[in-house]
Structure 1
Amino acid sequence: MVVQNFVVDLNKALVFQVGHLGGAYEEWVHQPIVSNEGPRFFENEILEFLTRTVWWAIPVIWLPVVCWFIHNSVQMGLSCPHLALLVVLGIFVWTLLEYSLHRFLFHIKTKTYWGNTLHYLLHGCHHKHPMDGLRLVFPPAATAILLMPFWNLVKLMATPSTAPALFGGGLLGYVMYDCTHYYLHHGQPKTEVPRNLKKYHLNHHFRIQDKGFGITSSLWDKVFGTLPPKMDAKSM
């Protein structure tokens, strides 16, 4: 299904075009178009609607779920110190999952029609249009589907009273990640820590795209040797 020397028409729905790029997809998708206006994904209006999510939907939808899971552990008699430890552990585990997904899944190299198409939907669109504000956070419907296997895994690894708190902490980590990711693209940080984190993430988009996979921190990049080289002040 790959078309030789295929040229993507940015004025048409993109999802079913990008697969035709074949081996040229990798280069094309990492040449960002900096515009706050996002491209059209699908001709179908329902599918198109499902690809767009406002950032504040993430805390509005998922923070009550986080509270519900944590409350379940409280109802089963978990003490406050134990509860706090498990929530923090869940957040910590999420940071590793965040790094791993970004490095090994979101940046997988593809060249087949369906490989390119699925990668574009998952993450390629974000690198091609990094300032598209309605596609910076993960659609809640897709998140709900993915949460089920993770919840079942946590239940296998933890006790009935600790599993909800641990899972709630991980889900809280996800909410923090998605909101942070949106802020790094569209916020204007005034203090040093978020300002440096913004530079760190934009460096991943516009300078060295195979390094700097951490979003909420650079911890796992340091641990696994994917920390990008330091840049001078003129680089960003």
Structure 2
Amino acid sequence: MSAQAFTVDLDKPLVFQVGHLGEQYQDWVHQPIVSKDGPRFFANDVFESLTRTKWWAVPLIWLPVVCWCINTSIQMGHTVREVALMAVVGICLWTLAEYMLHRYLFHIDTKSYWTNTAHYLLHGCHHKHPTDELRLVFPPTATAITCILWWNLIKLFTTTSATPGVFGGFLLGYVVYDCTHYYLHHGQPSSDPAKYLKKYHLNHHFRIQNKGFGITSALWDHVFGTLPSTKAINKST
């Protein structure tokens, strides 16, 4: 069946269907379906369960790891002030990583079967089903795998005793990001900055999807020229 003739059946598991859309995938995935209940991804129950995560699992699992990292750098001889500075550096690194990942990886243009499938699992599903509350935060298994990569990357430019402190701040930045992201979709903030960030993020989802890549702040959108217009943000609901 050609890509032009393929139609996704929303009543069947989606992951192994979307790749068949080919060049039509990008148009399809950026036409949101607003529904409280998310679709089924896999026919296999185990695989399906790995795609669903309660928001509170993120702080419950990862904040103790943050504390362990911070304490490790202190136990290795650094003062509390020094470790606090390391954590701040880690948080700043996360905000940059958050922007770069969202802009260049999560919004990569795909058209082949496997790249479409991978993109849908990584981020496309969130744009297609932005109100699916069980697929708003990153699954812990996937986070654990990426943590290994980030730890080793941070290790390249820090000392042995500073690596845990910087990584702890980086991981804390991630926790704040994922919890903020969930709140922007399902919370009802009444005052700034949360109210502004909600408008800012919904504008990215429903109006201008190639701008406004920051979640916890608009800092890097300012720096890299991807800031949507104030008029567009104010129109977001």
Q: TM-score, normalised by structure 2?
A: 0.97
Deviations 1:113-164 (A, max 9, x none): 0010000000000000000000000000011011112111222211111111
* One-letter code aligned to 1:200: Y
Q: CA deviation at 1:194?
A: 0.3
Deviations 1:138-196 (A, max 9, x none): 00001101111211122221111111100000000000000000000000112121000
Could you tell me how far apart the structure 2 residues matched to 1:135 and 1:158 are? 34
Cα drift, residue 81 of structure 1: 1.4
**5+ residue gaps, structure 1:** none
Superposed, which structure 2 residues align to 1:34-49 within 5 Å? 34-49=34-49
**Counterpart-to-counterpart distance in 2, 1:192 and 1:146:** 32
1:167 match: 167
Q: Percent identity?
A: 68
What residue in structure 1 maps to residue 117 of structure 2?
Answer: 117
Amino acid at match of 1:176: V
Distance (Å, rounded) in 2 between the aligned partners of 1:214 and 1:116: 23
CA distance in 1, matches of 2:13, 2:160: 47
Q: What corresponds to 2:32 in structure 1? A: 32
CA contact (8 A) 1:2 1:113 kept: no
The runs of at least 4 consecutive aligned structure 1 residues that moved more than 6 Å come to none
Residue 95 of structure 1 aligns with which residue?
Answer: 95
Task: Give SS of 1:166's match.
Answer: helix
Give the match's secondary structure for 1:55: coil
Supply the distance in 2 between the matched residues of 1:172 and 1:30 (Cα, whole angstroms).
30
Once residues 5 and 229 of structure 1 are traced to their aligned partners in structure 2, the CA distance between those partners, rounded to angstroms, is 37
Q: Distance in 2 between matches of 1:190 and 1:43?
A: 40
Contact 2:4 2:24 in 1 (8 A): no
Q: Is the 8 A contact 1:136 1:181 kept in 2?
A: yes
| AA of the residue aligned to 2:169 | G
Q: Output the TM-score relative to the length of structure 1.
A: 0.97
Distance 1:2 1:159, change over 3 A: farther
In 2, Cα distance between equivalents of 1:153 and 1:2: 42
Q: Give the distance between the partners of 2:8 and 2:230, measured in 1 at CA.
A: 35
The Cα of 1:231 is off from its aligned counterpart by 2.0
Partner of 1:149: 149
> Residue in 2 aligned with 1:62?
62
2:185 is aligned with 1:185:
yes
Measure the CA separation in 1 of the matches of 2:34 and 2:196.
20
Cα distance in 1 for partners of 2:149, 2:56 equals: 25
8 Å contact kept, 1:2–1:19: no
Work out whether 1:85 is the aligned partner of 2:67.
no
Cα deviation code 1:67-104 (max 9, x no counterpart): 00111001011112111111011001100000000000
